[in-house]
Every structure is written in structure tokens, then in C-alpha cells.
């Protein structure tokens, strides 16, 4: 059973070595593989990098120039002399004597007497008495009998069957196909370039400039040179999608409307009238006529005439017609025709032929070759003398390898083991690895 466990651990180390570099995941080296001659071996894993050439194509764009003859049109300005005719209106003055008649208003003053008599009104008081009659209302209480009718509401309870509608959700199960992601995380190896550092390195006298590619001469000696360390490998977990189609029952609820009869107690009120006779004190208003005497003072207007004569000076306007001779100047319009020369710039379009270089772009695919690194794991077996113990705790592998006790002349050659080969007998016997 112990030997079977060691064989399974060895197979796990071989499969893991193909995905994880040896520097990050150490394969167990304690398993013993018993060969036909009874010799015990220790497995040693080695990662080998080989360069694989790859061919790819890149697009190259070439630009060629083609000469073409084109015709352009240019504008040429020329000066022309022209004449334009226009008519000018000129004013010619003419003077003549005219008679002008006008009327002059002359003021004349006259004195006359006007009657300015006026009336004076005086108020004369007179006292007299008059009778005033008015009505006075008095309250008189009288006893009367009246019939009072009262309405009472009597409750009446009865049971009535009432229809009630309610909704019930009925479950219905359907089967629906849906896609579910059953993916998991897979270990992937990522290569990180080594760190860059500066170091003094002995350099020869002649060197090639990496920028221009020219060969230059300098004094040999130590120069600061930028170097890069070995690359490192890191294992990252990447989620790998696995879409699986499965049938899932889906339950939906369909509403149903149901009708049922429910007894309901209903209370109604009935009106009843009750009459009774009662005595009521009713007030009544009685009116009385009252006569009283009031002294009244009245004022009577008396008009008196006051005679008055006033002299007034009145100014009148007398119109007088006059005649005078006035010189008058009149202007007569005379039309004259004139000619004026002027210059005009005329634009003329002239065709011009030119040779132009026209760019033409051509695309073509050019093959180029580059190398990629492909890693593979080689398993070697080394003969050992003592037992190797494996301790696996929480996915961490601890390897305890004692110092092998073997003579130099008895050490056989290391054999490469192919981890893809299966053992001949998977029973209690320990599998034997194929030798290359």
C-alpha cells in the first residue's frame, strides 16, 4: 500500500511539472520505484526550454508618386477706359418787381359806462311748531296649543346572502432550459521579465552604437552598462468558463377568480311618526301711535338790489389796407448733358497647365519569422540507497532526502522517464518507468 501511494505521488508530480515551473512547485523526490533488479530510484524533474520558429505576416504600406497634367484657371485683371453720360439740372435766377397788398390792424380806444348793479340775499329766521306721529311696537305674550310631530328611527336587523368574489393563485410548473456556468479556476504560468540594473562592465575599444548602428572607437575600460536579470515565473489562477445546459422546473402562479355566497347581517332603520299636543308661550307684537310736538326754525331768503355804474375803456381794432412793391427772384431749371471718362477693371479667366505629383498608396503583406519559447518537463530517475518520506499538508510538499550512500563506480546513468507512459501492471506491484 505504501509503494502504491509513492507511485501516485510521482504521477501527480509529473502532471504538475508540465504546468508549474520547478522553481515554484517542487515535485516530491521521496518516492521509491522498484525495478526488476530490486534497485530504488529517486525522480528528478527538469524543465527544458526550446525555441520554436513561427511565421507571421505584417502589412507594409508603400507610397508611390505619379505625375499628372492638370489644368487650372487663373484670374487676370485688365483695365478698360469707358465713358458715361449723365444729365445735370442747373438753376438760373430771374428777378422781377411785384406788388404786395396786406392789411394792418390799427388799435383805437373808446370809453363807455357799464351797469354793474348786483343783488344781495339775506336769511331771515322764523320759528314754528309741528306735530310728529310715529308707531311704537310692544311685546305681548299669548298662550297657544300646538301639535308636535316627531319622527323616530327604529332599527330592523335582517340576514342577506351576499356574493363575494376572491382570487386564488394556482401553481403551474413548467420546465425551462437554462445555461449555467460550471467553470473553475485553472493555474496558468506568467513570465515576468527580470529586473534591470546598472553595473560596471569591461568593454573593448571598438563598439557599435545601438541607436545609429555605427562603429565607434573609445578607450577600453569599465563602463556603466544596463543589464537585465533572469526572468521569473508566476502561477496565476484564471477562471475557465464551462457552460452547461440544464432543465430547471419553474413554478408560476395563475390567478383564478372564484365566487361564493356569504350570509351577511344587515341593519336598516324604519321611520315612525309620533304626535303630541303641548302649550307654547308665543310673543305677539302690538303697535301704538304716539303724537309729539317739535319746535322748528326756518330761514327765509330776502333779496335786495344794489345799483352801481362803472366807466370802462374799450380798445377796438380798425383794419387798414396797404400796397408796396417788392423785388422777387425766381429760379428756372435748365437741363445740361455731360460726359465723364472713367476706368474699369475687368476680370478674365485664363487656363494654365501644370504637372502635379499624385501619391498612390499600395498595401502588401510581408512574411517575417520570430521564435517563441516552449517549455517541457523531463523526468530523470536517480538510484538511491535509503527511503524517502513525503509529507503533504495543505497542498505544501516537504521533501526529506537523506544523503545517498553509493560508490562512485556503482552509480548507473540517469535515465529520462516519460510521465505519459502507463505502468504495465496497476496491481500491488510498483510500476516500472520506460527508459529512453
Between 107 and 205, the higher pLDDT residue: 107
Backbone angles phi, psi at 209, to 5 degrees: -70, 120
Q: How confident is the model at residue 46 (pLDDT cuts 50, 70, 90)?
A: confident
Q: Given this model, what pLDDT does residue 165 score? A: 86
Among 51-55, 202-206, 260-264, 415-419, whose mean pLDDT is lowest? 415-419
Four-CA torsion 193, 197, 199, 201, nearest 10 degrees = 30
Alpha-carbon distance 202 to 16, whole Å? 43
Kindly give, in sequence order, each residue whose CB lies less than 8 Å from that of residue 153, ignoring residues fewer than 6 positions away. Answer: 269, 270, 271, 272
Q: Quick one: pLDDT at residue 144?
A: 83
Residue 411 has pLDDT above 70, yes or no: no
What DSSP string runs through 44-97? Answer: EEEEEEEEEEEEEEEEEEEEEEEEEEEEEEEEEEEEEEEEEEEEEEEEEEEEEE
Instruction: Output the pLDDT for position 175.
Output: 86
Tell me the average pLDDT across 231-237.
86
- Distance of alpha carbon 59 from alpha carbon 71, whole angstroms: 36
pLDDT of 133 higher than 80 = yes
Is 309 within 8 Å of 169 (Cβ atoms)? no
- Segment 118-136 shows an average pLDDT of 85
| pTM, entire model | 0.20
Has residue 33 got a pLDDT over 60?
Answer: no
pLDDT, tens digit (0-9, with 9 covering 90-100), for 78-115: 898 888 888 988 888 888 888 888 888 888 888 888 88
Q: Which range, of 80-94, 147-161, 265-279, 403-417, averages the lowest pLDDT?
A: 403-417
The pLDDT confidence band at residue 307, using thresholds 50, 70 and 90, is confident
Those residues with Cβ within 8 angstroms of residue 26's Cβ, 6 or more apart along the chain or in another chain: 397, 399
Report the distance separating Cα 39 and Cα 163, nearest Å: 97
Nearest-CA neighbor of 413 among 388, 381, 377, 387?
Answer: 381
Q: Give the chain's count of helices (H) and strands (E).
A: 1, 14
Torsion from C-alpha of 429, 431, 434, 435, nearest 10 degrees: -80
Which pLDDT tens digit goes with each residue over 326-352?
888 888 888 888 889 989 898 888 898
**Residue 1 scores a pLDDT above 80:** no
Neighbours of 390 (CB within 10 A): 17
Q: Given this model, what pLDDT does residue 64 score?
A: 87
Residue written as grid cell 380798445: 315
> How far is 229 from 234, CA to CA, in rounded Å?
16
Q: How confident is the model at residue 407 (pLDDT cuts 50, 70, 90)?
A: very low
Among all chains, which residue has been given the C-alpha cell 449723365? 86
Tell me the backbone φ, ψ of residue 412, rounded to 5 degrees.
Answer: -75, 175
Quickly tell me which residue has 310631530 as its cell.
Answer: 149
Amino acid at each position: 500500500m505504501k509503494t502504491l501511494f509513492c507511485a501516485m505521488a510521482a504521477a501527480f508530480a509529473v502532471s504538475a511539472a508540465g504546468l508549474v515551473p520547478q522553481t515554484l512547485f517542487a515535485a516530491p523526490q521521496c518516492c521509491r520505484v522498484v525495478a526488476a533488479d530490486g534497485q530504488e530510484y529517486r525522480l528528478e524533474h527538469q524543465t527544458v526550454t526550446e525555441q520554436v520558429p513561427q511565421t507571421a505576416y505584417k502589412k507594409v504600406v508603400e507610397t508611390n508618386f505619379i505625375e499628372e497634367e492638370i489644368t487650372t484657371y487663373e484670374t487676370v485683371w485688365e483695365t478698360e477706359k469707358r465713358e458715361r453720360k449723365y444729365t445735370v439740372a442747373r438753376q438760373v435766377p430771374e428777378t422781377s418787381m411785384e406788388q404786395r397788398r396786406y392789411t394792418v390792424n390799427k388799435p383805437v380806444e373808446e370809453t363807455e359806462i357799464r351797469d354793474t348793479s348786483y343783488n344781495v340775499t339775506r336769511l331771515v329766521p322764523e320759528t314754528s311748531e309741528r306735530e310728529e306721529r310715529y308707531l311704537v311696537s310692544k311685546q305681548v305674550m299669548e298662550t297657544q296649543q300646538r301639535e308636535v310631530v316627531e319622527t323616530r328611527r327604529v332599527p330592523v336587523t335582517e340576514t342577506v346572502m351576499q356574493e363575494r368574489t376572491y382570487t386564488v393563485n394556482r401553481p403551474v410548473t413548467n420546465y425551462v432550459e437554462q445555461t449555467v456556468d460550471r467553470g473553475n479556476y485553472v493555474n496558468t504560468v506568467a513570465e515576468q521579465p527580470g529586473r534591470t540594473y546598472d553595473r560596471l562592465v569591461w568593454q573593448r575599444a571598438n563598439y557599435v552604437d545601438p541607436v545609429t548602428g555605427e562603429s565607434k572607437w573609445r578607450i577600453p575600460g569599465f563602463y556603466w552598462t544596463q543589464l537585465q536579470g533572469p526572468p521569473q515565473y508566476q502561477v496565476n489562477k484564471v477562471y475557465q468558463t464551462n457552460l452547461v445546459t440544464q432543465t430547471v422546473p419553474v413554478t408560476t402562479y395563475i390567478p383564478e377568480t372564484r365566487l361564493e355566497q356569504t350570509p351577511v347581517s344587515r341593519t336598516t332603520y324604519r321611520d315612525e311618526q309620533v304626535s303630541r299636543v303641548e302649550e307654547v308661550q308665543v310673543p305677539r307684537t302690538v303697535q301704538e301711535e304716539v303724537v309729539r310736538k317739535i319746535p322748528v326754525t326756518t330761514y327765509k331768503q330776502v333779496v335786495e338790489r344794489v345799483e352801481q355804474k362803472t366807466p370802462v375803456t374799450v380798445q377796438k381794432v380798425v383794419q387798414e389796407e396797404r400796397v408796396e412793391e417788392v423785388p422777387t427772384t425766381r429760379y428756372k431749371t435748365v437741363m445740361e448733358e455731360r460726359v465723364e471718362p472713367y476706368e474699369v477693371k475687368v476680370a478674365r479667366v485664363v487656363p494654365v497647365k501644370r504637372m502635379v505629383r499624385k501619391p498612390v498608396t499600395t498595401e502588401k503583406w510581408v512574411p517575417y519569422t520570430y521564435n517563441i519559447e516552449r517549455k517541457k518537463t523531463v523526468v530523470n530517475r536517480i538510484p538511491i540507497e535509503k527511503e524517502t518520506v513525503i509529507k503533504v499538508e495543505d497542498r505544501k510538499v516537504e521533501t526529506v532526502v537523506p544523503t545517498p550512500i553509493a560508490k562512485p563506480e556503482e552509480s548507473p546513468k540517469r535515465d529520462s522517464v516519460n510521465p505519459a507512459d502507463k505502468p504495465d501492471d496497476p496491481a500491488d506491484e510498483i510500476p516500472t518507468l520506460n527508459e529512453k
